[in-house]
Amino acid sequence: MSRLEIRQLTKQFPTPAEPLVVLRGVDLELQQGQSAAVLGPSGSGKSTLLHIVGTLDTPTSGTVELDGQNPFALPEPELARFRYRHIGFVFQDHYLLPQLTVLENVLVPVLSQGAATEEQAARARMLLQRVGLEERMDHRPAEISGGERQRAAIARALVAQPALLLADEPTGNLDQTTAQSVARLMLELQEQEGFMLLVVTHSLELARLLQRRYELKQGRLVSQP
Ligand code: ADP
Ligand code: MG
């Protein structure tokens, strides 16, 4: 049973004057199959929090435990492997590589660890089918729509069967209708696959689709109805 536990997480950025304190003690727990949204205006620290949970940045203090492991105790090569096996990311920008096909893009995380097995390639194709891109697998990102690119990015995030999917404003670049369908799709996949889902966003509409909501206020999470 996968599990995420964040305890008293703080983050400060050094500045020439006094340090900029962004997170002042964030606590959060998620279990397999659970989803939560963190709301907050621009500059409130949402991306900072997500980057630390995703092990792309380190906390100033506090702990993150994912599936019983403290990722920050791992040396870099093992940390990269841990990230690959446990965490998927979806960002506001799709970050698909323009020269690769949609299918190749979905396999990029797998290829970072070595050649894809037939099973991994089959999972990539299955995910593309699940996100409605079975007819677009051999297209380049420039040949599909913005919503389709974000769907491909979701498939890529899930290719290694992560325990935790992290999404930073995943619908921020999409029009309202497309945003809604991409958000629903992400939640459908979550229901089927059971990963933990943590979304940071300023969109209340998106946050409402998740099981729990918090607001990041003065560096702490405050429960929202
Ligand atoms: P949000 O995602 O909620 O818009 P961020 O987490 O990106 O907010 O940023 C929170 C605050 O931390 C902002 O004031 C931002 O300028 C600052 N910040 C973010 N990253 C860095 C960094 N690497 N160095 C210095 N300040 C940063
Ligand atoms: Mg942000």
Q: Which atom of ligand 1 lies at the shortest distance from residue 44's CA?
A: 3
13 lines ligand 1 (CB under 6 A): yes
Which residue in this structure is represented by tokens 């999409």? 174
111 lines ligand 1 (CB under 6 A): no
How much is the pTM?
0.96
Does 98 have pLDDT greater than 90? yes
Closest CA to 58 of 43, 42, 74: 74
CB atoms within 10 A of CB 75: 7
| Rounded distance between C-alpha atoms, residue 4 and residue 182, angstroms | 24
Q: What is the pLDDT of residues 140-180, one digit of tens each?
A: 999 999 999 999 999 999 999 999 999 999 999 999 999 99
Ion ligand 2: protein residues whose beta carbon lies under 5 Å: 46-47
Q: What is the pLDDT of residues 32-87, one digit of tens each?
A: 999 999 999 999 999 999 999 999 999 999 999 999 999 999 999 999 999 999 99
14 lines ligand 1 (CB under 6 A): no
Q: Which atom of ligand 1 lies at the shortest distance from residue 45's CA?
A: 6
37 lines ligand 1 (CB under 6 A): no
* CATH topology for the 3-224 domain: Rossmann fold (3.40.50)
Does 112 have pLDDT greater than 90? no
204 lines ligand 1 (CB under 6 A): no
Return the higher-pLDDT residue of 31 and 112.
31
Say if residues 212 and 47 touch (Cβ distance below 8 Å).
no
How much is the pLDDT for 53? Answer: 98
Alpha carbon distances (Å) from 171 to 23, 82, 132, 159, 175: 24, 27, 17, 20, 8
| Rounded distance between C-alpha atoms, residue 73 and residue 175, angstroms | 41
Give DSSP secondary structure letters for the chain.
--EEEEEEEEEEE--SSS-EEEEEEEEEEEETT-EEEEE--TTSSHHHHHHHHTTSS--SEEEEEETTB-GGGS-HHHHHHHHHHHEEEE-SS----TTS-HHHHHHHHHHTTSSPPHHHHHHHHHHHHHTT-TTTTTS-GGGS-HHHHHHHHHHHHHTT--SEEEEESTTTTS-HHHHHHHHHHHHHHHHHH--EEEEEES-HHHHTTSSEEEEEETTEEEEE-
How much is the pLDDT for 1? Answer: 87
Residue type present at position 214: Y
Closest CA to 56 of 22, 27, 87, 96: 87
Which residue in this structure is represented by tokens 């491909």? 152
Average pLDDT over residues 5-18: 96
Does 122 have pLDDT greater than 90? yes
| Rounded distance between C-alpha atoms, residue 158 and residue 177, angstroms | 23
Looking at every residue in the chain, the average pLDDT score rounds to 96
